[in-house]
Chain A
Amino acid sequence: MNTEPVISLIGVTKRIGRTNIIDDLTFDVPQGEIFGFLGPNGAGKTTTIRMIVGLMSITKGQILIKGKNIKTEFEQAIRHVGAIVESPEMYKYLSGYQNLVHYARMVPGVTKDRIDEVVSLVKLENRIHDKVKKYSLGMRQRLGVAQALLHRPSLLILDEPTNGLDPAGIRELRDYLRNLTRTEGITVVVSSHLLSEMELMCDRVAIIQRGKLVNVMPIQHFTQGDDQDQTYLIQAQPSEQALETIKNMDGVRRVNLVEDEKIEVTTDREQIPDILIGLMQNQVRIYGVQLVCQTLEDRFLEITEGGQIG
């Protein structure tokens, strides 16, 4: 497998007027990954995507796609990219098929067979010769995906693709993206302001807030925290004594009584056996120990220090 990142952003900054809407973004996405780009509305997701696909100029820094600079080697860089920026606006007075022919003509090597292939991929066979004017929102989204995949891109960029989709549609999209990364080794960058969607879809997530990168991490770390910082729920009696005991132990970051008999402890994973031994030695009866998975929501609020979402 190729270890060179499919896309890398290096110190990317966008200044409009006197403010940096995007400020010093740096991250890489390796091949085959579904990379989430998460942030509240107005965080700068769309702006970043516009810079990646060359719709907007980059004030400072650079963006490389398969090693090609989007600014200086636009044509070589962009041929690896398929994208939907915000909603996929098509020529409404043309049929879906004519729209695809239009985009196919712009990239060398897209055959008629390939057009038919993507049409069946997005299940638009029956309506592809209708005018786009008559399409539903869902059909337009699918036609958008079709135009993005037409030229077999290595990198697929979707800006808030779940907007306007129902839960079934979102699930379909998710399975579909998984499939693409597995069978074709495609890399996907997908933006969203909805955490729950990212959680199910992505391998790694970058959080962006007010144009700044807050964090990049695998989705598991995201939901569970890392090994040094995990939260457990211990059911024990008498709880007063348990609380006292735990408070006096090493390596405990936080402890509090959440409700009767339930104590929440945040500590290093390695500390848990010692805590339990300590409790037993103090005649505390333990009924249950449970790792608390934070929801993405909690985690997000923690990381962005309460920055509001969506």
Chain B
Amino acid sequence: MVNLVLNENMKIYRRLRTWILIGLMIAFVLFVNIMNWHFDGKSAQGKGWRTELQKEITQWNEVLKQPKLDKQTKKYYQQQIAINEYHLEQNIRSTEGTLWDGVNGSAGMMIVITIFTIIIVGDSVAGEFSSGTIKLLLIRPASRTKILVSKYISLLLFGILLLLTLFVVSVVINGILFGFGHMDLPLIKATAEGQVVESNMLLNLWKTYMLNSVSTVMYVSMAFMISSAFRSSAMAIGLSIVSLFAGNIVMQALQRFDWSKYLLFANTDLTQYLSGLPFQEGMTLSFSITVLIVYFTLFNLISWLIFTRRDVAS
């Protein structure tokens, strides 16, 4: 099994295409962070964080004076004000103007990881068919199941590699831009009960990474299924990326239907439970996890059934 994964890795990393994607990933992270620093970060450094935070509190207090504010929004601003006051009282600077600002912001680029991984995934099974190499691959003493699993593992490893690239590159570039001081800055956040607490910034970052990875894994499984079902790389990559983008738009249109909460797209973003604003009233974390497990099992079961049963006749 280890050998099979080594083989799949060889087929991923001995291709120029893969390194172009990794190069693009690095370039994107550098570009976004340098732009962010250029237009935003520099000024925050200049005026000092205390002034900035104070200014924000004043702004938000103005907002709160508006009469027609709904409960959710009101709660949100009150929390933000509490957090800023905590910073000021405890003399803990905000992330603004430190490397954390850029590093945390870069976590939003995980969608790029999903897209790039889908590109490699889509070709993984379909590519063996279109090149004809599948014939020599499947006539070895390794069951089709093992070959499929090793492909899946190697693809997840590729996703992890991109994630590590994102992490390392964003830390290094922001360290260079903002300086490596304030590495041990704590994260100040409000709990669901409204209490303001300190937590570890790095731990929180990886929690965000992991929650976002759930969606990556779901789309990878979907692309993998299409790749083995239709044996077409273009279709697997195209359909998966389209649903990645169209998913959210479609979900907004469907939000008013009760059944829409059972759709995959309503559940892929688990960070909705961190902010306390789920897609539909009454959805819980365990509900979403259950739905995701069902889809995950379904996608991979279909991939497996098709890949192990079907005749290789091309």
Contact = CB atoms under 8 A, between A and B. Distances in A.
Interface of A: 50, 53-57, 74-76, 78-79, 81, 83, 85-94, 98, 101-103, 105-108, 147
B15 interface: yes
A22 to B, nearest CB: 12
B207 interface: no
A89 B141 contact: no
Nearest to A46: B313
Given A50-B312, A93-B15, A55 B10 contact: no
Dominant SS among interface residues on chain A: loop
Interface in B131-165: 131-133, 135-136, 138-143
Interface centre among B16, B141, B143, B312 (most CB of A within 10 A): B141
B133 A89 contact: yes
B137 to A, nearest CB: 8
Interface string B67-107: 00000000000000000000000000000000000000000
Interface of B: 3-4, 6-7, 10-11, 14-16, 131-133, 135-136, 138-143, 309, 311-313
Given A91-B11, A98-B10, A105-B7, A74 B143 contact: yes
B133 to A, nearest CB: 5
Nearest to B11: A91
Dominant SS among interface residues on chain B: loop
Contact of A81 (B132, B139, B311): B139
A107 B141 contact: yes
Contact of A89 (B3, B16, B136): B136
Given A90-B133, A105-B7, 10 more contacts: A53-B139, A55-B313, A56-B312, A74-B141, A85-B139, A89-B133, A94-B11, A98-B14, A105-B3, A105-B6
A55 B4 contact: no
A147 B133 CA distance: 12
Contact of A54 (B10, B138, B309, B313): B138
A55 B311 contact: yes
A29 B188 CA distance: 77
B136 A90 contact: yes
